[in-house]
Amino acid sequence: MHLILSAIIILLAVIDVVVGVGFLVNPAIAGADFGLTVAGNAGTSALRADFTAFFFVAALFMAWGAWRRRGELLLAPLALFAIAFTGRLINLLVEGSYDGWWLPMAVEMAHVVVLALAIRAWPSRRAGF
């Protein structure tokens, strides 16, 4: 079970790094995949900085937590994806659906479920990293 959880989390981390690299290298195209358009250099900068940070930080802590099998290292990515899912759910309820609305929500929920399972399965250390 521990090995399977580690492998799934590493796979999710690799996917997140690929998405983050997309925002770092070409934020306009990566943003378009998320339904975003760039409004000048400020928009490009925001996509490049914020989305890259989201996906890189999530991937870093997921890979670190999976490698060390330490549940507390997975709390940050769990929070990121749970909040992202919640935001999408609120938008779905308030604004309604759109083509392909379910895919990003499914990916975020998969992150949440796998990370929550790993946090529950793996020990947490109280002091130090």
pLDDT digits (tens, 9 = 90+) for 70-95: 999 999 999 999 999 999 999 999 99
Across the chain, mean pLDDT equals 95
H-helix or E-strand spanning residue 57: helix 52-68
Is there a contact between 90 and 108 (Cβ–Cβ < 8 Å)?
no
Residues in the chain: 129
Contact 114, 71 (CB under 8 A): no
Give the percent of the chain with pLDDT over 70. 97
More confident of the two residues 77 and 126: 77
Computed on alpha carbons and rounded to an integer, the radius of gyration of the chain in Å comes to 16
How close are the terminal C-alpha atoms of the chain, in Å?
23
Quote the pTM value: 0.91
